[in-house]
A and B are shown apart, each in its own frame.
Chain A
Amino acid sequence: MNFLSLSFRGLLRNRRRSLVTLLAIALGFAAIALFAGYTHNIYRGLSLQAIHGELLGHLTLSKQGMSREGKLDPERYLLSREDVTRITALIRAVPHVVLVTPRLTLSGIVSNGRASTIFVAEGVEPKAAHELHAGVLRELRLTQTGKDESGVQSLDPARPDTVVLTRGLADLLHLKPGGQAALLSNTLSGQANALDVTVGGLFNTGNAATNDLYAFMPLELVRSLYDAEGRADRLTILLDDVDQTEAVRSHLLERLKSAGYAVEIRTWNELSAFYTQVHGMFDMIFGFIFGIVLTVVIMSVANSMGMTVVERTREIGTLRAIGLRRAGVVRLFMGEAALLTLIGCVTGLLLTVAVKYGIDVAGISYVPPNQTSPVPLLVDLDIPHILLTAMMMAAVGALAAWLPARRAARQPIIDALGHV
């Protein structure tokens, strides 16, 4: 028998009260763990969507100042042919890098011969686009959420004049896959230039503001419209591990700086506004739930321990008489509260696993905002958050017991012994 077992047996004295407190803790814990698991799953899906679906890759490198000034003076911020070759070679040598590919954005006018509208096109090497996109295909196959609608697959290295349009853009001009269109744009030196292209696939951006604007084009097509042979406005870098994003970025910045290049590198989440917004919103909701649950835990533990301490006043007097210091009394009750909270968390964890399993088996799906097709409701086990929550709760539980325990420890022994 030691003091831990004394604490444990203390909990068994008033089983109903301990059980009620434990259930409150378990339910609160499960609520936090399930919500953390749900958002974890959402974040994972959104990061895949950004990195692979939107072809952002993990890192985007451009000349220093490109993100702020590039629109005003495109020529100045384009990477030269030599820059592209040398920097690409440099980056390829870095661990975790699986792909480096040049990109060039173009804006201009697209016409069906009678009517025309503006467009913004992403110039990307078809093969590299397929590789970037492969990650999302893998995931789609894994979760079996219907078909790939990005259209990137119809960029074909063998057909360099094929472009991929957003559905909205194609509808505006009554264009169909296989149809012909003309693109008009200015070259870097300011001359008008035009090209005939074939419409390949169509895709949705999932966002009304861009769905009649965007297009994907083979990089070489953009370069010839721009008259920018071999150049690029940025390099897209794909890694083998999303968790290495930050580390590789700082490593690359250092390397390129010492090689004499002034560049800026942005990560996929900095570039994906949607990801950042959703993350911010869920973090706020998480903080809110966490706050409520912690308050409930504090209140139920404080209430339960407050009653326990009063009931056991005479026992506290006895323990003090036979040699237990004040601090020992405090430790006893704080230990009891911490134990109760931990058992509550373990129960909550079991509950979480059961609910997660239930959700998996039930195969629930729902239509998230800003999307057109239903996705399955999935919950991950977010272990770091679960551990953090358990630790926070045990600490908070012990703290909640501190005040009543201290009150009990400080009362005069003769009063405690005389208590009935």
Chain B
Amino acid sequence: MTPTAPPLLRLRDVHRRFHLGTTTVEALAGVTLDIHAGEFMAVWGPSGSGKSTLMNILGLLDAPSTGEVWFEGEGSRSLGDDALTDFRGRRIGFVFQSFNLVPVLSALENVMLPLQIGGEPDARERAGQALAEVGLERFVGSRPDQLSGGQRQRVAIARALGIRPRLVLADEPTANLDSENSRMVVDLMREMNRAHGVTFVFTTHDPRLLDHVDRKILLRDGRIEQDEVGS
């Protein structure tokens, strides 16, 4: 986090508008933001404030209506769909609110999936390591429906980390978990952030989960209302 290092992600005056019939919703109304490698940050704010929209743009899943996004200096608009997909597959891990594991695959196979898509020859070995790191080595063969919610989200974190990403994005990773499991998931992410220097951005409604983050961004009506460093 040397101040001179170029940011991992750079957003400049990002707007995202959705057209619903004749009305237009401006989900992001001019967001300018730098995210540096190794940061552990939370995005919070009321429902409808644009958190998910921002996360989708950070994850290169969606493109701004206007404004620019650079990932490691690369402008996202210069990449075609396949290149963008490959870029995500190599650099960005995703953790979803409802886990989004493939139900017919075991925990290990789920973690292997992005590695295999990326053509990684040691997929099995690396997936095994990632599962061990989240403390699930005993559940490699279990299907998602044989695991608890907290365990499923840990599999999802292992899946995100298996590719050794630069960035992990987690949109409401704890919304479907009880407070104990929520705590555990956030602690696990923090641990991985410290151990591997992976950048984490997550969103939440729960103020109790904001205690240990490096940086908190408060969104309201599609704008950054507060950008607070340190906890």
A-side residues, CB < 8 A to B, are 1-3, 6, 9-10, 12-13, 314-315, 317-328, 412-414, 417
9 smallest CB-CB distances across A and B, nearest first, come from A323-B89, A9-B104, A322-B114, A318-B100, A1-B109, A413-B61, A323-B117, A414-B62, A325-B85
Do A10 and B94 touch across chains, with their CB atoms under 8 A apart? Answer: no
Asked if residues A318 and B105 are in contact (CB atoms below 8 Å), the reply is no
B105, A315: Cβ atoms under 8 Å? no
A-B contact pairs, 7 of them (CB 8 A): A1-B109, A9-B105, A13-B103, A315-B100, A318-B94, A326-B81, A414-B62
Most buried by B among A324, A327, A328, A412: A324
Q: Is the interface of A mostly helix, strand, loop or mixed?
A: helix
Chain A nearest CB from B101 CB (Å) reads 8
Encode B56-90 as 1/0 by CB contact (under 8 A) with A.
Answer: 10010110000000000000000001100110111
The distance from the CB of A6 to the nearest CB of chain B, in whole angstroms, is 7
Residue B147, interface by CB 8 Å: no
Interface residues on B, range: 20 to 34
Q: How far is the CA of A326 from the CA of B109 in the complex (A)?
A: 21
Report how far A323 CA is from B59 CA in the complex, Å: 11
Task: Give A9 to B144 CA distance when docked, in angstroms.
Answer: 14
- Residue in contact with A12 in the complex, picked from B62, B104, B113, CB distance below 8 Å: B104
Distance between Cα atoms of A327 and B80 in the complex (Å): 14
Contacts of A13 in B (CB 8 A): 103-104
- Interface: B118 (CB within 8 A): yes
Q: Which residues of A contact B56 (CB under 8 A)?
A: 413-414
Residues in A with CB closer than 8 Å to B114 are: 322-323
A6: B residues at CB distance < 8 A: 102, 104-105
Which residues in B have their C-beta under 8 angstroms from that of A321?
Answer: 59, 61, 88, 94
Question: Can you name the residue of chain B whose Cβ is closest to the Cβ of A327?
Answer: B82
Chain A residues in 8 Å Cβ range of B112: 1
In the complex, A413 Cα to B60 Cα: how many Å?
Answer: 10
Minimal Cβ-Cβ distance residue in A for B55: A414
Counting CB contacts under 8 A, is B159 at the interface?
yes
Given the complex of chains A and B, what is the CA–CA distance between A327 and B90 in angstroms?
A: 18
Given contacts A323-B89, A414-B56, are A1 and B116 in contact (CB under 8 A)?
Answer: yes
Complex contact A417–B61 (CB within 8 A):
yes
Say which residue of A1, A318, A323, A412 sits within 8 Å of B62 (CB atoms).
A412
Known: A13-B103, A314-B100, A321-B59. 9 other contacts (CB 8 A): A1-B109, A9-B105, A10-B104, A315-B100, A317-B100, A319-B117, A323-B86, A323-B89, A323-B163
- B139 within 8 A of partner (CB): no
Q: How far is the CA of A325 from the CA of B88 in the complex (A)?
A: 10
Q: Which of A315, A323, A414 contacts B88 (CB 8 A)?
A: A323
Q: In the assembled complex, how far is the CB of residue B106 from the closest CB belonging to chain A, in whole angstroms?
A: 8
Contact B62 A325 (CB under 8 A): no
A322 — which chain B residues lie within 8 A by C-beta? 88-89, 93-94, 113-114, 117, 159
B residues in contact with A328, CB < 8 Å: 117
In the complex, what residues of B have CB within 8 A of residue A318's CB? 94, 96, 100, 102
List chain B residues, Cβ under 8 A from A320: 85
**Docked complex Cα distance between A318 and B93 (Å):** 11
Which residue of A324, A325, A414 is within 8 Å of B61 (Cβ)? A414
A327 contacts which chain B residues (CB < 8 A)? 82
Bound CA–CA A269/B163 (angstroms): 67
Complex CA gap A2/B89 in Å reads 17
Instruction: Give the docked Cα–Cα distance between A417 and B52 (Å).
Output: 11
A314 proximity list for chain B (CB < 8 A) = 100
Within 8 A of A (CB), among B26-54: none
Q: In the assembled complex, how far is the CB of residue A340 from the closest CB belonging to chain B, in whole angstroms?
A: 15
- The answer for the CA separation of A3 and B117 in the assembled complex, in Å, is 9
B165-188: CB near A (< 8 Å → 1, else 0) gives 000000000000000000000000
- Give every chain A residue within 8 A of B88 (Cβ-Cβ): 321-323
| Chain A residue at smallest Cβ distance from B112 | A1
Q: Which residues does chain A contribute within 8 Å of B118, judged by CB atoms?
A: 323
